[in-house]
Amino acid sequence: MSAFNINNLPQNEPNKIEKPLVMLVDDEIENINVLRQLLESHFKIITGLNGREALNLIDNMVDPKQIQLIITDQRMPELTGVEFLERVVEKMPDTIRILLTGYSDTQVIIDSINKVNLYKFITKPFDPVELTMTVQRGIEAFQMRKELAEYTENLEQLVVERTEELKQKNLELTQALENLELFSLTDQLTSAYNRHFLNKFMPGELAKAKREIKDNQPSDIGMLLIDIDHFKYINDTYGHDAGDKVLMQFTHMLNDTCRQSDWIVRWGGEEFVIITRGLSIDNLQDLAERIRQKTQAYEFDLGCQRSVCRTCSIGITSFPFIKGDVESLTWQQTLKLADLALYAAKNSARNTWVMLYADKISAQENFYEHAILNLQSSIERGVIGFNSQLRKEQVVF
């Protein structure tokens, strides 16, 4: 039965303050009911069971721009959430758009950001408090943008009479609004992804890995933890501005070396994480070696006709660490093993890479705690294997 009803269309009532109008679009009525119960005390709700039905409702409204915010599911029949929002943005460019989905697809995220100017991407199951606060902030952003637009229109009529101070104030208000609406997933200095990006989207990658293992099409998630050798010397000798230049150029070099589908994340300070999909152990080692060689050959420009050369150390693992078993270790624990490999690389000679991988190991063995406390013993017992650009006798754990 269609959820479209002419009574759903908003009707203005005199002398009554209207609640902000929010549209919910989902092909599962249970999901709409959950969202309605969560939001209806503070917002006026209209609903559609799919994208076409919601567009029909919008087309029958006297003023569809009354809709301040739309929450739509991604997976729906006829039109996906992104396809629906592409049409919405043409009709109501200022409406806040939130995409709700039960899976994480990097391309969907990129498409939704680029095509529909997405306000936020929320994965299921969602946290009710987080979703409610996101909607409230989205409504605030919509209203602030509307107020700013009206203010700007009036300002244009008075620009000749008003002072430069008012012009500057308008610029400050515009910048404040842009900062409020900005949903940043990148490191401000290097433009690499930040930890927030990794924490947000890694669960979706793990869910994808579980599905692939279930379908007998496993595709490991490679993890490279990279540290610039003797980076502190640059800051101490040339200043932090010089260190920032090195970090930006190093990130640019990583982008040139990695695939477009790889994630380059600034983990903190001079440490970077690279997340890959579908690379074998040999491929991961080849990637690490290319990064090592390019770093060693790179001449970092510090400005004022100064330059410096540096090397890097790399620790490598892949998830799931135990092949075919995504439950025995979390991705954070797997990255911790990459950190141990990085420590071994730096402790041995620097300018090298060390890879840890599962060897004679089963999911039942309590190996992780032992590896953290005594990695050398785990390697000697053959529980964990390792490779390195160095000879094995040169590697110190």
Measure the N-to-C terminal CA separation of the chain; round to a whole number of Å: 66
Q: How far apart are CA 317 and CA 47, in angstroms?
A: 46
C-beta neighbour count of 277 within 10 angstroms: 17
Q: How far apart are CA 311 and CA 316, in angstroms?
A: 17
Looking at residue 143, its amino acid is Q
Q: Rounded to whole angstroms, what are the CA distances from 31 to 26, 49, 98, 124?
A: 7, 10, 15, 11
Active-site pick, 53, 181, 205, 270 = 270
Instruction: Evaluate whether 316 touches 355 at the Cβ level (below 8 Å).
Output: yes
Residue 394 DSSP symbol? G
Instruction: Evaluate whether 384 touches 394 at the Cβ level (below 8 Å).
Output: no
Work out the angle between the directed axes of helices 81-91 and 51-59 (0-180°, nearest 10). 10
Instruction: Evaluate whether 274 touches 257 at the Cβ level (below 8 Å).
Output: no
Q: For this structure, is 270 an active site residue?
A: yes
C-beta neighbour count of 395 within 10 angstroms: 20
Q: Collect all residues with Cβ–Cβ distance below 8 Å to 360 and sequence separation of at least 6.
A: 382, 383
Catalytic residue numbers, as ranges:
270
